[in-house]
């Protein structure tokens, strides 16, 4: 093939990549696709509102902080801050929030190319980009206004600097922004701490021949990160927000099984969860890592394992699997970051194998063939999602808000687990019924309800007995409407209740009567379970 022909092939390939990337920016108001393999991920009806609620409240209600409610911004401030700036130009809309996530996805594509371009032939980063933009998994999760796209961007930016340290005239000075990026990673999503080994590998391996310089660079990065993170924590303590910071860790600390061997079961589920991303590419990436380890004495195996990007990718995936194992609560969205690094492993593994001769080269062509098969299959899947947008949740939130406005009932304030998400869509003021930082003034939901006196409550499909008991201390419930949304059989109907205050400020006592059942004055048609 001539040089001119190669240029035309690469140009057409790049146009194809850009076309699939552009699909991610269409129909931003549309819901997370229904009937996907990831239907039970909670992010699609909570996280977009939760982690941006500081920016949403600041613009709509004049104060980012709501005492007694869920306020995650002290622990993860970067996303809401950028949203807050964005909303000055766009107003508070779900399209703007998701557009910000898409902007980070586009940045991730550019950073991927920059990271991989120096590690092999030109087709290798283009193969990685093809697998990324055609992935239906990444299509679904990169279009949500969640923390993973931004965390991925900061991680890739730090890795791009780390692997290039030997090229800079002042690598110690360049290590400082690497440390600052790690602070941004931590303040974007606290799970970034599990990515530290990957970042350390990418920094130190290229400098291993000059270990004194490697130590100086590591100290510069660590010092910059420790100093800036300490400044943030000092500010949090000074402003009295430390309880809100700690609360994020409390709500993400899930009960562990009683069996002593639960970590093995959790590891299996976390490891197996990678199949949420892809049934071809994820096993293929694992096989390539295993093959490189077994072929350590061969040039291709040793070359891969001693490549800073390949090694960092392995450590990033391992770190996140370790996090999910410790948490014992894997969710599909957690793999939105590891999907990038698994695809890096496939692209780099294919390039390394094709750079040899004999059987390894033939295996390299097999890897490329499997990657192409995955891309073709995934592209059809992604095109189907892009061509068939659905709006069940945004329609349900709009109808719910319209009902509240047409049927006044006390304060125009809704209590719901999806409250912040509804606020993002319709600007209805809301409280979260499930989460809220405890304090002397607001020790529990019961106290929060007494203070804010909401007029409405919404739940998915059924009533939680504990939540019902808290509501019953001050209100009786009247089921008035329901709205179908999403596809999770446990959460596909959003049910709206009027809250009627008990007469003369009376409060029920949970120690005297059972408040976890329907009581006289209630009108409840859904199960209590």
Q: What is the pLDDT, as a whole number, of residue 300?
A: 86
Residue 505, pLDDT above cutoff 80: no
What pLDDT is recorded for position 430?
A: 98
The pTM for the full model equals 0.95
Q: Is the pLDDT of residue 290 over 80?
A: yes
Task: Determine the average pLDDT of the residues in 67-74.
Answer: 97
What is the mean pLDDT of the segment spanning 372-400? Answer: 97
Write the CA distances from 118 to 85, 122, 163, integer angstroms: 35, 9, 10
The pLDDT of residue 197? 97
pLDDT bracket for residue 36 (50, 70, 90) = very high
- When pLDDT is averaged across residues 379-391 and rounded to a whole number, the result is 97
483 vs 109: CA distance, rounded Å = 38
Read off the pLDDT of each residue in 305-312 and give the average, rounded to a whole number. Answer: 95
- Between 357 and 320, the more confident residue is 320
Residue 42 confidence (pLDDT):
87
**How deeply is 60 buried, as exposed, middle or buried, from its count of CB atoms within 10 A (0-12, 13-18, 19+)?**
middle
> Average of pLDDT values for 466-485?
96
Mean pLDDT of 267-292: 94
Helices (H) and strands (E) in the chain, counts: 22, 5
What confidence tens digit (pLDDT) does each residue in 112-129 have?
999 999 888 999 999 999
Report the percentage of the chain scoring pLDDT > 90.
85
| Residues contacting residue 246 through CB under 8 Å, at least 6 positions apart | none
Q: What is the mean pLDDT of residues 196-216?
A: 94
By the 10 Å C-beta count (0-12 exposed, 13-18 middle, 19+ buried), 170 is classed as exposed
CB atoms closer than 10 angstroms to residue 335: 28
Convert the pLDDT of each residue in 357-379 to its tens digit: 889 999 999 999 999 999 999 99
Report pLDDT digits (tens) over 419-473.
999 999 999 999 999 999 999 999 999 999 999 999 999 999 999 999 999 999 9
For residues 88-110, give the mean pLDDT.
98
Segment among 213-227, 337-351, 425-439, 498-512 with least mean pLDDT: 498-512
Q: Reply yes or no on whether the pLDDT at 211 is more than 70.
A: yes
- The confidence score (pLDDT) of residue 40 equals 86
Tokens 């009937």 -> residue:
35
- Give the pLDDT score at 112: 98
Task: Tell me the per-residue pLDDT of 220-274, one tens digit each, with 9 for 90 and over.
Answer: 999 999 999 999 999 999 999 999 999 999 988 878 887 888 888 888 888 889 9
- pLDDT of the residue at 1: 63
**Where does residue 282 fall: left (phi above 0), alpha (psi -120 to 50 degrees), or beta otherwise?**
alpha
Using the predicted structure, report yes or no on whether residue 512 has a pLDDT greater than 90.
Answer: no
Per-residue pLDDT, 507: 84
Instruction: Provide the pLDDT for residue 134.
Output: 98
Alpha carbons 463 and 183: distance in angstroms, whole number = 40
**Residue 442: C-alpha distances to residues 64, 233, 360, 494 (Å):** 18, 23, 64, 27
Answer yes or no: is pLDDT of 54 > 90.
Answer: yes
pLDDT confidence of residue 259: 83
Domain ranges of the chain: 3-39+73-245+269-387, 40-72+392-529
What rounded mean pLDDT belongs to the chain? 95
| Mean pLDDT, residues 319-326 taken together | 94
User: Where does the pLDDT of residue 3 fall: very low under 50, low under 70, confident under 90, or very high at 90 and above?
Assistant: confident
Residue 409, pLDDT > 70, answer yes
- Residue 413 pLDDT grade (very low, low, confident, very high; cuts 50, 70, 90): very high
């Amino acid at each position: 093939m001539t040089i001119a022909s190669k240029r035309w092939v690469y140009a057409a390939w790049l146009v194809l990549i850009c076309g699939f990337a552009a699909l991610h920016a269409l129909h931003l108001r549309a819901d997370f696709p229904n009937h996907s393999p990831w239907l039970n991920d909670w992010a699609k009806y909570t996280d977009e509102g939760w982690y941006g609620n500081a920016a949403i409240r600041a613009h709509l209600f004049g104060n980012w902080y709501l005492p007694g409610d869920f306020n995650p911004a002290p622990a993860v401030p970067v996303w809401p801050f950028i949203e807050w700036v964005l909303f000055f130009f766009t107003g508070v809309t779900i399209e703007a929030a998701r557009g910000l996530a898409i902007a980070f996805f586009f940045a991730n594509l550019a950073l991927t190319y920059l990271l991989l371009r120096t590690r092999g032939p030109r087709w290798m980063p283009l193969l990685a980009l093809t697998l990324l933009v055609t992935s239906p998994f990444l299509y679904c999760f990169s279009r949500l206004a969640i923390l993973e796209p931004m965390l991925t961007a900061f991680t890739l930016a730090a890795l791009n600097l780390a692997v290039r340290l030997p090229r800079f005239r002042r690598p110690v000075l360049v290590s400082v922004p690497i440390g600052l990026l790690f602070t941004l990673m931590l303040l974007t999503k606290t799970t970034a701490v599990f990515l530290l080994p990957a970042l350390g590998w990418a920094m130190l391996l290229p400098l291993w021949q000059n270990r004194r310089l490697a130590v100086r660079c590591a100290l510069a990065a660590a010092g910059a990160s420790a100093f800036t993170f300490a400044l943030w924590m000092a500010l949090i303590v000074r402003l009295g927000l430390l309880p809100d910071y700690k609360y994020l860790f409390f709500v993400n600390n899930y009960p562990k099984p009683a069996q002593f061997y639960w970590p093995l079961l959790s590891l299996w589920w976390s490891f197996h969860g990678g199949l949420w991303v892809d049934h071809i590419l994820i096993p293929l990436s694992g096989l390539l890592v295993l093959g490189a380890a077994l072929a350590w004495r061969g040039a291709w195996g040793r070359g891969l394992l001693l490549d800073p990007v390949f090694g960092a990718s392995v450590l990033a995936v391992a770190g996140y699997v370790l996090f999910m194992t410790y948490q014992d609560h894997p969710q599909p969205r957690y793999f939105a970051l590891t999907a990038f690094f698994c695809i890096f492993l496939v692209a780099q593994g294919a390039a390394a194998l094709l750079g040899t001769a004999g059987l390894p080269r033939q295996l390299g062509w097999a890897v490329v063939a499997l990657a192409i098969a995955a891309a073709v299959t995934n592209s059809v899947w992604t095109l189907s999602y892009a061509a068939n947008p659905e709006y069940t949740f945004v329609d349900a939130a709009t109808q719910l808000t319209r009902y509240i406005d047409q049927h006044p009932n006390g304060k125009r304030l809704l209590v719901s687990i999806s409250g912040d998400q509804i606020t993002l869509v319709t600007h209805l003021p809301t409280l979260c019924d499930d989460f809220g930082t405890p304090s002397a003034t607001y020790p529990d939901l019961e106290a929060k309800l007494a203070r804010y006196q909401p007029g409405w409550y919404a739940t998915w499909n059924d009533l939680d007995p504990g939540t019902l008991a808290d509501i019953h201390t001050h209100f009786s419930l009247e089921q008035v409407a329901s709205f179908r949304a999403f596809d999770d059989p446990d959460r596909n109907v959003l049910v709206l209740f009027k809250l009627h205050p008990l007469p003369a400020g009376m409060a029920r006592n949970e120690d005297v009567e059972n408040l976890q059942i329907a009581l006289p004055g209630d009108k409840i048609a859904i199960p209590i379970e």
